[in-house]
Amino acid sequence: MSNPAVAGPQGVVRMSQIRLESDDTIVYGAVIRTDCDAEMNLPFTEEQFFAVFSDYNEAIGWVPVVAYALGLLAVALAVRGTLRGTRVISAILTLFWGWMGAVYHLEFFIEINPLAVAFGVAFLLQSAIFLHASIRSQPIPRFTARADMRGGLGVVLMLYAMVVYPIVGIILGRSYPAVPLFGVAPCPTTIFTLGLFLWSRGPLSARLWMIPVVWALVGTTAAWTLGVWEDLGLLVATLLTVPALIHSSRHRKRDMPLT
């Protein structure tokens, strides 16, 4: 007896008696087989995505080198743990997020993705949040290295963003200039930012970390749809950072003042 067929939005769906096959999905006593896979549709291809990075990196020249220097400075200042240092760190994050919003998203990524306008605005808003944090009388977040598990996880994320991330890209066959770079590309910079948040002391309002976390979830899709597997670090960073920040905000423990 032939199996009934039903036309569905994903193609022709055929139903038969239960039998276990690798490509079948069993639902309530029937085997449902679809003729095409449901995938996330992006408005650009993998080739276009990396071509934008190629054009972007060639256009900005030595800016990534400056960004790396600023990233190392931020880490060094956090190790010192002074009030002035934490202001400078917030200022560095202001530059990173402002640059990515204004230049990467609104000048380059917009060429292949209309959502880059919204992304750019969000990154500029995050830049403004960091700027406000840097000029407060008592800057929040207060960045200082921690000698605990949370501090160790922060080191792992920052090291991944600055060192491991580009190495993974090389292993996967990518080469400059068609690569995302720390300090000027959203994904590695977001991982670094979340790592610094793990070095923060005192409660952090969700408005300080909401945009980086949302971007981490958005950026994770690139790992699955475009094969940018190094971006899986975004998901790991989110899973490590968010619970720690929520726990810190709930307990609202007061830290010793910085000197």
* Residue 256 forms part of a structural domain: no
What would the pLDDT profile of 181-206 be if each residue is shown by its tens digit? 999 999 999 999 999 999 988 777 88
- The identity of residue 202, as a single letter, is G
Structure tokens at 4: 């009934």
Mean pLDDT, residues 18-45 taken together: 45
Structure tokens at 243: 């619970």
Mean pLDDT, residues 47-76 taken together: 98
Same domain, 79 and 194: yes
* Residue 57 forms part of a structural domain: yes
Same domain, 150 and 167: yes
In the chain, the number of structural domains is: 2
| Strand-by-strand arrangement of the 5-8 sheet | 5-8, 11-16, 30-33, 25-27
* Residue 259 forms part of a structural domain: no
pLDDT band for position 251 (cuts 50, 70, 90):
low
Same domain, 71 and 24: no
Same domain, 172 and 242: yes
Same domain, 8 and 56: no
**Sequence-separated (6 or more) residues with CB below 8 Å from residue 29:** 18
Mean pLDDT, residues 158-176 taken together: 96
Ranges assigned E (strand) in 85-231:
142-143, 200-201
pLDDT band for position 36 (cuts 50, 70, 90):
very low
Angle 185-65-211 from CA coordinates, rounded to 5°: 30
* Residue 257 forms part of a structural domain: no
**Whole-number Å distance between alpha carbons of 10 and 23:** 15
Same domain, 66 and 103: yes
pLDDT band for position 223 (cuts 50, 70, 90):
confident
* Residue 207 forms part of a structural domain: yes
pLDDT band for position 52 (cuts 50, 70, 90):
very high
* Residue 258 forms part of a structural domain: no
**Whole-number Å distance between alpha carbons of 200 and 85:** 12
Same domain, 140 and 14: no
Mean pLDDT, residues 227-249 taken together: 91
Give the torsion through C-alpha atoms of 103, 106, 109, 112, to 10 deg: -150
Q: What is the pLDDT of residue 8?
A: 44
pLDDT band for position 134 (cuts 50, 70, 90):
confident
Residue 104 has pLDDT above 50, yes or no: yes
Which has more pLDDT, 26 or 208? 208
Mean pLDDT, residues 122-151 taken together: 88
Same domain, 33 and 61: no
Same domain, 210 and 118: yes
* Residue 241 forms part of a structural domain: yes
Q: What is the pLDDT of residue 78?
A: 96
Burial (CB < 10 A; 0-12, 13-18, 19+), residue 153, is buried
**Whole-number Å distance between alpha carbons of 67 and 192:** 12
Residue 235 has pLDDT above 80, yes or no: yes
Question: What DSSP string runs through 94-115?
Answer: HHHHHHIIIIIIIIIGGGT-TT
* Residue 77 forms part of a structural domain: yes
Which residue, 89, 95, 87, is CA-closest to 138?
A: 87
Mean pLDDT, residues 109-120 taken together: 97
Same domain, 15 and 139: no
Same domain, 122 and 176: yes
Same domain, 166 and 75: yes
Domain limits for position 117: 46-251
